[in-house]
């Protein structure tokens, strides 16, 4: 896209969102990053993302690291470039921890050795795509896209949270001060409707709460085929009908 740019957003750590209804089994895929100045790249969208992917690898990945490998177009470019640097001998002894089936497949094609994520695993650095990042605060939303087969949002979020350093790679249009769209929320299947009603009351008049389907038309109840994640959760898409004024509101 003409006039677009791409950026990566480094962070030392991130913390999960704080909301009272988390105690009822709700797990948001929204995360908050500390403020950091973005690094913009060249004018065209595809070259920008590639440049941002290269900068992410060159600036943060060192030999001997365990690296969380994100999913999405920009992360795929970073995985390809990381594999190229390893083949050239510039980086050695890298172990990749994929966040999705697609990132595992891309890493395998790029020659990056892989390992499975475990709760006690030390991850030195991770990169990922984000759906939208709030300008100034760097609050980020992930999880809007359709899940890859076998992908786990909980594992993806765990890898992002565990990493000692993190970078999101996004296009210019995803870095904005005017937030809109949806915020995906994981909720236990057993009490999903009760939690959905609580969220609906919380954002009454500002958002609609729809259960995500696996296929077909979406709707408040998730259509005929509501999505169930591999851990047994539904995904509630909190769809804001007006701008999101405070993404990090308690």
**Residue 128 pLDDT grade (very low, low, confident, very high; cuts 50, 70, 90):** very high
Contact call for residues 235 and 143 (beta carbons, < 8 A) = yes
The per-residue pLDDT for range 104-118, each reduced to its tens digit, is 999 999 999 999 998
Residues 135 and 217 in one domain: no
Average pLDDT of span 37-61: 72
Residues 43 and 138 in one domain: yes
Residues 158 and 229 in one domain: no
Predicted TM-score (pTM) of the model is 0.77
Instruction: Say if 245 falls within a structural domain.
Output: no
The number of folded domains in the chain is 2
Domain of 105, CATH number, reads 3.40.50.1360
Mean residue pLDDT across the chain: 78
Q: Which of 123, 145, 175 is the last residue of a domain?
A: 175
pLDDT for res 29: 36
- Phi and psi at 209, nearest 5°, equal -115, 115
Instruction: Say if 247 falls within a structural domain.
Output: no
Domain of 198, CATH number, reads 3.30.70
Q: Which of 136, 152, 175 is the last residue of a domain?
A: 175
The per-residue pLDDT for range 11-34, each reduced to its tens digit, is 333 322 222 222 223 333 333 333
Average pLDDT of span 195-201: 89
Instruction: Say if 250 falls within a structural domain.
Output: no
**Residue 89 pLDDT grade (very low, low, confident, very high; cuts 50, 70, 90):** very high
Q: Domain of residue 55: give its range.
A: 6-175
């Amino acid at each position: 896209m003409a006039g677009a740019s791409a950026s990566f957003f480094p962070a030392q750590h991130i913390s999960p969102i704080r909301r009272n209804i988390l105690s009822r089994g709700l797990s948001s895929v929204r995360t908050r990053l500390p403020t950091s100045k973005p690094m913009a790249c060249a004018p065209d969208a595809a070259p920008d993302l590639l440049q941002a992917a290269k900068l992410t690898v060159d600036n943060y990945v060192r030999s001997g690291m365990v690296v969380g490998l994100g999913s999405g177009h920009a992360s795929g470019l970073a995985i390809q470039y990381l594999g190229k640097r390893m083949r050239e001998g510039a980086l050695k002894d890298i172990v990749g921890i994929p966040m999705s089936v697609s990132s595992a497949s891309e890493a395998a094609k790029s020659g990056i050795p892989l390992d499975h994520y475990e709760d006690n695993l030390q991850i030195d650095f991770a990169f990922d795509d984000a759906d939208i990042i709030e300008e100034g605060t760097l609050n980020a939303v992930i999880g809007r896209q359709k899940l890859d087969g076998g992908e786990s949002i909980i594992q993806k979020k765990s890898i992002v949270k565990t990493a000692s350093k993190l970078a999101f790679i996004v296009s210019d249009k995803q870095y904005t001060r005017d937030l809109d769209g949806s915020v995906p929320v994981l909720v236990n299947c057993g009490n999903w409707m009760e939690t959905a009603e609580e969220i609906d009351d919380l954002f009454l008049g500002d958002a609609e709460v729809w259960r995500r389907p696996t296929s077909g038309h979406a709707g408040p109840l998730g259509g005929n085929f509501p999505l169930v994640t591999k851990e047994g959760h539904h995904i509630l898409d909190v769809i804001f009908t007006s701008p999101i004024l405070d993404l990090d509101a308690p």
